[in-house]
Homo-oligomer: A and B are copies of this chain.
Amino acid sequence: MSPRPAKSSRPAASSLMADAVPGDAARLTMADLAERAQVSIITVSRALRDSPSVREDTRRRIQDLAREMGYRFNATARNLRLQRSHTIAVVVDMKPTPERPMSGPFPLDLLGGICQELTTAGYNVLLTTGQSQPAAAVQAADGAILLGQGADDTAVRQLLPMGVPLVVWGAPQPGVDPVFVGSDNHQGGALAAARLIETGRRRLVFLGDTRHRENAERLHGFTETLASAGAVLVALAPCDFTFNAGVAAVRGLLTDTPGGFDGIFACSDAIALGAMRALTEAKLTVPDDVSVIGYDDTPMAAFHTPALTSVHQDWTEGGVRLAQAVLALINGEHPDSLILPTRLVVRAT
């Protein structure tokens, strides 16, 4: 019972002071506290967890001791013992374009919603980019959320067999199984179509890569509504989500589309802005000659002149729902896939 137990091994490598300094490199364990407090390890464990089966004063004594000795709890050990990590992996599976690693409004607000919900539920959020193999990270997690506007479903196929509860952001896919949460792309397309028709447009153009399932849904809703109103889709230009892709696509259409067009629905605000640039170049005015509707309702849509009409999705809400879905799965429930409504923000174009 020496007053200074001297944790035999493990020298405090980077510490200048003797020891027991809060923030000391040599990490204390419950055993150390137990020895100092002259109690057993389990009592320390209980005391630190506020177990009612530890006498009030003992508990306080141990907690104080822990504080003053700078004890730091080892979550890894608990996780091992308790067989859960309280961690959800968020896999951001972006195309390997280095030009924009994770941009757009996309994952940020979504992440915000996810974090908000998961941290209040006591879970940690482990962030992974699809670049590396997510394997290791995901395996350690209690659940996983997949974000990414992937045109293919390789990521899903990779993640699914790992046996971790999985929720995917996007449009439900026919072949694969997991729970999906997404916004109503079909409705988004329909809203855009309805608006264009309402403003008297009849010869419409769709800009977007329909290999992305979400875009395919938008196209579907778009054409469906068109058909029922006697308008026609005069062109479908596959294009990336970028400004430049929008410029290029519309430049092409201006020469290639016999009969021209008077309305554009773009799968992102960036595309829409690019499209408007190309229209302006060609001495066409928006919205007098051509009406344009974008997607995502980003700040740049609002501040562009003329202000861009755009389909709005509530990313934060989406994030929250994603989180809730994983938690439900972990809980053994079987949440249904979920489709969140979109709404059209009408502006000048």
Contact = CB atoms under 8 A, between A and B. Distances in A.
A162 interface: yes
A112 interface: yes
A132 to B, nearest CB: 5
A240 interface: no
A39 interface: no
Interface string A91-121: 0100000000111000111011101100110
Interface string A3-44: 000000000011000000011110100000000000000000
A120 B101 CA distance: 14
B72 A162 contact: yes
A246 to B, nearest CB: 12
A70 B163 contact: yes
Nearest to A24: B163
Contact of A85 (B76, B162, B303): B76
Interface residues on A, range: 35 or more
Contacts of A24: 163
A302 to B, nearest CB: 7
A234 interface: no
Given A80-B76, A102-B108, A140-B75, A128 B126 contact: no
Contact of A163 (B72, B76, B79, B119): B72
A76 to B, nearest CB: 5
A321 to B, nearest CB: 15
Contact of A111 (B127, B136, B298): B127
A31 to B, nearest CB: 15
Nearest to A139: B72
A299 interface: yes
Interface of A: 13-14, 22-25, 27, 70, 72-77, 79-80, 85, 87, 90, 92, 101-103, 107-109, 111-113, 115-116, 119-120, 124-129, 131-132, 136-137, 139-140, 160-163, 270, 273, 298-300, 302-305, 316, 332
18 contacts: A22-B163, A23-B161, A23-B163, A25-B163, A72-B162, A75-B139, A76-B85, A76-B140, A90-B127, A102-B115, A103-B108, A108-B108, A112-B129, A119-B128, A125-B128, A298-B299, A299-B299, A304-B304
